[in-house]
Structure formats: C-alpha cells, structure tokens
Structure 1
Amino acid sequence: MDRIFNFSAGPAALPQAVLEQARDELVNWQGCGMSVMEMSHRGKEYMGIQAEAEADLRELMNIPANYKVLFLQGGASMQFAMVPMNLFRGKASADYLNTGEWSKKAIKEAQKYGKVNVVASSEDKNFTYAPAQSAWKLDPNAAYVHYTTNETIGGVEIFWTPETGNVPLVADMSSDILSRPIDVSKFGLIYAGAQKNIGPAGLTIVIVREDLLGQLVPGTPTMFDYKIAADNDSMYNTPSTYAIYIAGLVFKWLKKNGGIAAMEKVNRAKAKLIYDFLDQSKFFQSPVAVENRSLMNIPFTLKDAALDDEFLKAAKARGMVQLKGHRSVGGMRASIYNAMPIEGVQALVALMKEFEQQHG
C-alpha cells in the first residue's frame, strides 16, 4: 500500500504534491546546497520563503493591508491566553460563545485575565448545534467577542459571520481556515493552528488588525506581545522555519487548484457524499443539527456501539485510518480537510454501505 486515506483530525493529511515537492527539496533547496531546516532565519533564502508564504496567504484570503500576518508557535491553545493578554485593553470583560470543547478551553484561559461573559451556549444539547445570534447576550462595551468557527471534536460549524458592531470579532479558525472564503475585514483577529488545513504542527497563524496592537495586560511576557511579533516580522525569536516553508507550499497548491472558492466547492461535494448517506441510513446517524454540520469534521455513530471496533478494523483493512471519534463524543469522526481527496470519501461511504448491509 502506497498512501492511505488519513481521516485524522490533526495532525492531518497534507496534499501529496506538497509532500513530494518537500521530499525533492529536502536535502538541497533550489540548488542552494542546504535544506530549509538548516537555513538561518535571517538569511536571504529563508526570508524569501517566508515573505512569499505571507504574500500568497494574503492573496488567497484577500487580507487587507491594515492587517498583520504573524507566524507564531504554541498552537491555538497558546492563543487562548495571548488573545486576552493583547485585547482586553483595559476593558472590564470579553464576550465568548460556547459551542464545544475548544470554546470551553478558550473561556477557561481567558478568565485568568479578566471577566468573561458567555453570551450563549449549546451545552444543553451536548454541543450538537450553534446558538443563533438572536440568542446571544452581547455586551456593547466588551473588549472583544470570541467564537470558534468550527468545533473539531463536535463537528459543529458556524457558516455565518456574527455582527458585533464596534466590538472586535475574534475567531478560532483552526479547523476550517482556507476551506471556504471569509471576509477578513469583519474580524479584529483570526487565529489558527496549522496542523489541519495549513501545514505541520508547530506553526500558528494569527491575522490581526493593526489598531488592536500594543495595549497589553500588565505582566504580559514579551513573546506573547502581538506588536513585538509584528514589528519583528515574526522573527523576534527563531520561527518555525520548516513548518512555514511547508505552509507556503500548501498555499501555492491552493492557488494552483483554483483558490479557496474552488476548494469550498470540492469540500461541499465531499461532505455531501457522507451526509446524504447518513440521512438515508437506518444504521448510521449524524448527531449534529443540519444547519451546523461541519464540512471539515463529520462525527457519526453506529446503531450498535458494540460494532465500533469492528468498523474501525474494516476501515483499516481498506486503508482508511483515524476514524475513531473523540473520547468525549464517541462513535466515529471523519475529518475531510482540503487535502483529503474525494476518492477517500467515496471509499468511506462505500464501506459504510457495505457495513450496514452486513449488520443492519
């Protein structure tokens, strides 16, 4: 078997073309005689790689000129602290939407730096939906409004952009960034861990509006200051150079394949294959509200949970791995990020049909 279909929620599959190019350039990048991993981050070769990656990301997402793009470390989990440290800006509280496990972690961390107002929560139905904005209790004096656009564990995605007036909107887009177009100008700050739709683990992307920089919670470490990162072109310390290089290759792969709008069409087609099957199945089901069904992470359950292990073994035998659901949810979860080819989804649905015929 050459390549399997990897349905992991993260670190996730990368485009094969990207991996092959990285393999070919591993020892000697474009004739310079060394690997990207060996380059000085201050050298012209690497600085060119990072500058090009930023330019391609700006083009793909149509990022306005008054926004900084930061290449940071620490994952999205470090942003749970960096966001309040940088954005409370003397305000009394911040608003947070609670739609799942990652929202809960962001809320818990933010409470260390100021008051958190939970504007709405879907915990009443085990995080299987996202509350409509009409149910949110927003504070017009809040420092910012934070939400998770796609809950990786629960498979709940919010496809609309909240209206927050003059209060900056902050989004954790770790698991759906680059999967469909968004209007960056409607956000004060966007952050995303790279290991799902961007590149290898170890890199975090932050897109932040310039006017939000430089007003820190007292005692904020230098490395947690967005302005320091911005003023130093993400090179206050040594950045995740190889992860940024791979991310740059992914950005070029996206451009070559039609950009984010084209990717959304493919992603919707992939997700539709699975959801259409789930909707007619009497053996498999989706726990998520139809309007919030994620295009990236699709949890589903079997009628008889005692068959879970047998299903996973059958999938592995056909070259499909990492389908076990998160321990807090159970069942199965198929993560079908940009790099998952439609053939992988077709293979999964074919297996589900056969499994239902055998056990339904």
Structure 2
Amino acid sequence: MIESLAAQSTAVRHGGQLDRREASLRLVREALALGPDQATLQRLRNEAIAALALPATRIVLPEHLPPSGDAMMLCIDPNFTTGTVMAADDHLRLIRLADGVELRRLSIRSRTADQVQDLGADGRFLMLRRGQRSFLWNLDHDREVPGVEAATGLGMLREDGGTFCRGEAGGLACYSLPDLARTFVAIAGMPADISIVAALDEDRVIVGLANNELAVAELSSARLLWRQRVGRIAALAVAPDRRHVAAGCSDGRIHVVDVASGEPATSFSGFGEYIIGLTFDRTGGQLIAADIPGTLRSYGLPAGELLLKQQLLTWQLRLDPTGTRLGPIRQGDRFGWLEIEPARVIRTLRPVRVAAEPRLARVSP
C-alpha cells in the first residue's frame, strides 16, 4: 500500500494537473501515516522535496468581476490593471480589475468585431480582429480609427500603446499613436502576404508569412534577417531575453527559433488542434500555450515535456509584470486568471557523523 501511494504521488507530480503539488503531498502524507520502512521513508522524503519544488498554480475568479458573455472579447492590458468584457447587453466594457469598476461602456458589440486582440498599456486604443484583419478602436472617442485596417493578416499593438503595425505588400506599415503618422518600410525580399506580426524589440519585428515561413525583419536596414519554414502560424511569442521566438501553428506544433542565427532551437507537438495563444514564462524556461479545444498547457524547454494541462478557455495569454499571474481565463460565465507561485528552492539538512557525537550540519545545494 505504501509503495502504491508513493507511485501515485510520482504519477501525479508528472501528470501536469493544476493542483499537482498539493495532491502529491497529500499522497505522501497518507503513505507516511502507514509507517514506512527506512528505504521507503527515504523515497517518500525525496518525493516530498520534489513536490515542494513544483510551482503552485490556482485559478482565481474574483467575485467582483462581472460575468463574461464571450471569451473572445476578454483582454487584459500589459500592466494587469484593466480589462475588457462583453456584458449581457452586448456592449463591450472596460473595467478595472482591482475592484470591477466599469471605466467605459463602449459601442463595440459582437457584430463589430470577432475578437479583442490587445489593449495598450496607456488605455487609449484597442486592437480588434474582424475576420483575418486587425483594426484599431479609439477608446477616448469610442470609434474605429479610420485608414489603418490591415489589408490582410493580423497586426500588432506595441505594449506601450504607442505604435500599431501591420503587414502590407512588400513591407510593414507602422502608425504612431495617437497622431496616426504613417511610416511604410519596404522590406527587401518580403513576400506580399503577411499573416501575423509581433514586436521583437524597437527595431525588429517577427513576421509570420502566408507561405508558412517565420521571419525576422529589421526596420532600420529594411531587410529580412532570416526566414524559416515552420507551418501555418497562428500565434507568436518572444522569450524575455529576446534570444528566442516561438511560433504556434495550426497543426498543433510549436517551433522555437534562435533569433541570432534563425536556426531551429527545438520543435515539438503541442498536442492541441490549433494553437491560438502562446507566451514564455518570465524565466524563458517554459512555454505556455492555449488551443482551440480549450486546453491550457505548459511545456518545459528545450525538450517540450508537458508540465501543466488544464481545461480552460482563453483567447489571449498575458503574464503580469511580476510573472505570477496569467490571464485572462474563463470558466462558465466567470473570468479571471491563473495565479502562479514560483517553484521553491529547497534547502535540506543531512546527518554528518563526527568523532564526538552525531549532529546536523547545513549543506548548501
């Protein structure tokens, strides 16, 4: 029975469930209560240490936040202070996450857009999707920004809310906000069809091409630094140190590419049917992905081993500035986020025999 409980604890720890740390420790406690022998006690001790080293993750659905009518219209800003929610009256609302207070009631309705893609940190503009095209909404004036809608493909709104970029035949069109001054950068070798773009840094942009290639464009030199065939790209992510980019594809595969060389770093199956959201954790050691069936998964890099699997509905993945909250997520008509407690560093004591008498000595890991 004790061996069975220890084996169950190991299986739970590797199973990827949201509550695996507590579940694994509960099984260890049950096994300890049965009086294990010395060898099994050591195994249980190691199992407890491994379980305690896991990050604790829990779902937070604050009571003060209003019900969500459409998961695709949920969005949280980069500061994790404000968000959007489609209310029961079919009007999009901007709310303060701390207390649920409505900041603005917008004229955006379900027929206006298919999805809220992003909200700038300055709270002035929303990026929305209509079909396979991105467009902007001015929150101060509650109206669509004319003349910036992407001809094809999805655009990007920089985190500070100061620039909107989209693909255009042969290059990238960038609009400074709020004055809408337009700059077109013709990129040498850029194909006509761009399906998705994302910011790498101030001068470089990740580009998902319609011919299933991932590329990095440098604006200052107006050229493509490299191109790599990966598949039909549906989501992009940038590692915190900006040394790697990741592409989630419609076939469920995830590709990680080295930014400096353009060479593949790793590639693995995400097990989902269609990757719609993708982000690195704050260490760059994990990739978190959401798929269309409604499953959230976390993968350890570089091998891509499954660390977390949870049935959750989300269309945008964003970490807060501390890296301890991930959202928005939706269950039923409630929405909120995942709260992630970082993995613990475990310091252990081990007995050391000396001539005089046994004592405990602290040993650094």
**Common fold, TM-score beyond 0.5?**
no
Shorter-chain TM-score: what band? under 0.3
TM score, norm. by length of structure 1: 0.23
Higher alpha-carbon Rg: 2
Higher strand share: 2
TM score, norm. by length of structure 2: 0.22
Larger relative CO (CA 8 A, sep 6+): 1 or 2?
1
